Amino acid sequence: MENEAYHVPVLLQPSIDGLNINPNGTYVDVTFGGGGHSIEILKLLDKGKLIAFDQDTDALANTIDDRILFVDQNFRFMRNFLQFNGITHVDGILADLGVSSHQFNVDARGFSTRTDGPLDMRMSQNGEKTAEHIVMTYTEDKLKQMFWLYGELKNAGKIARQLLLKREEMKIDTTEKLKEALLPVTPRYDDYRFLAQVFQALRIEVNEELTALEELLIQTIEVLAPEGQIGNYLLPQLRRQDG
Ligand SMILES: C[S@@+](CC[C@H](N)C(=O)[O-])C[C@H]1O[C@@H](n2cnc3c(N)ncnc32)[C@H](O)[C@@H]1O
């Protein structure tokens, strides 16, 4: 079930090695995506179990190995799910955070700076908050804080002000319209990097990525067995935002 079209996993072998897999243990891949990491875990399991979370229902199509117990939920519900199913401890948790290549490549999801699409950016099709909602309704202060914290944009204040001005004139509901609205504050050189940072900030806010991660990390303390391992792969995601 290797699914290169859906997502090419990064740091595959080091992340699997880091889990130090017990063939009879219980593992959770909280970011299943194309299943590239999960399939490697399965190869090392004998009587062990693999539970896979992904809040994107598109990922379900990649669960073609029936040993995977797929949960189409946010990983912030990991502890509840495990408790409900009588699983008190797990031996390893893997998190390959951020967006999959699939999510970037489907224009209708609105993640890519390169193609036009609805200003959506929800990883979960059931999510309530879209990037359009944020751009069209957040206060200037809230927008500024978001671009500053999640996009690390030095001109966060100017970006926020520009969006407030523009949204009086037009409905900013596509990625192209967002780019057009931001033209006056977009640097002439390095515009691609600027837009990648703007999109990253919106994506993190739409999906409440940092809150979900915080909740997950707190839960791992409770559910990991004493010798259990957690693997967290965040840095490559920053690179992938440019993809
Ligand atoms: C970088 S991809 C993972 C790719 C995967 N490791 C592979 O080998 O194909 C991240 C995936 O995690 C999912 N995801 C991100 N945050 C999530 C969350 N809070 N809860 C559930 N799934 C999440 C995304 O929908 C995406 O499919």
Where residue 173 falls among pLDDT bands split at 50, 70, 90?
very high
CB atoms within 10 A of CB 48: 18
Spatial separation of the C-alpha atoms in residues 11 and 37, rounded to whole Å:
9
Distance 168 CA to ligand 1 centre (A): 35
Choosing among 1.10.10.10, 3.30.70.1450, 1.10.150.170, 3.20.20.330, the CATH entry for 126-206 is 1.10.150.170
Q: If pLDDT is split at 50, 70 and 90, which confidence band does 61 have?
A: very high
What is the DSSP secondary-structure string of 93-106? EEEE-S--HHHHH-
Q: What is the pLDDT of residue 31?
A: 97
Domain boundaries defined on the chain: 12-102+208-240, 126-206
Task: Report the 3 state secondary structure along 143-197.
Answer: HHHHHHHHHCCCCHHHHHHHHHHHHHHCCCCEHHHHHHHCHHHCCCCCHHHHHHH
Nearest CA to ligand 1 atom 13: 31
What's the whole-number mean pLDDT along residues 145-166?
98
- Side chain identity, residue 18: G
> Ligand 1 atom 24: the closest Cα is on which residue?
99
CA of 99 to the centre of ligand 1 (A): 6
Centre of ligand 1 to C-alpha 152, Å, is 23
From 2, 4, 31, mutation site for ligand 1 pocket: most ligand atoms within 8 A of C-beta: 31
- Determine which of 63-67, 84-88, 234-238 has the lowest per-residue pLDDT on average: 234-238
- 242, burial (CB in 10 Å: exposed 0-12, middle 13-18, buried 19+): middle
Give CB contacts under 8 A, 24+ apart, made by 64-67. 64/1, 65/1, 65/35, 65/38, 65/39, 67/42
CB 37 within 8 A of CB 6: no
Q: What is the mean pLDDT of residues 125-132?
A: 96
CA-nearest residue, atom 12 of ligand 1: 31
Crossing angle between the packed helical segments 12-19 and 36-44, to the nearest 10 degrees: 40
127: left (phi over 0), alpha (psi -120 to 50) or beta: beta
Cα dist from 237 to 82, 98, 185, whole Å:
27, 6, 25
Q: What is the pLDDT of residue 9?
A: 81
Distance (Å, whole) CA 111 – CA 228: 34
- Model confidence at 234, pLDDT cuts 50, 70, 90, reads low
Query: For residue 23, how many other CB atoms are within 10 A of its CB?
Result: 9
> Which residue carries 């200037």 as its tokens?
140
> Residues with Cβ within 6 A of ligand 1?
7, 9, 31, 33-37, 53-56, 59, 74-75, 96, 98, 100, 123, 212
pLDDT beyond 80 at 3: no
In the reported structure, the alpha carbon of residue 94 is separated from the centroid of ligand 1 by a whole-number distance in angstroms of 10
* Nearest-CA residue for atom 20 of ligand 1: 74
Q: Which of 52-56, 155-159, 162-166, 189-193 has the lowest mean pLDDT?
A: 189-193
Atom of ligand 1 nearest to the CA of 31: 12
- The span from the CA of 124 to the CA of 151, in Å, is 21
For atom 27 of ligand 1, the residue with the nearest CA is 33
- Report the CATH fold assignment for 12-102+208-240: Rossmann fold (3.40.50)
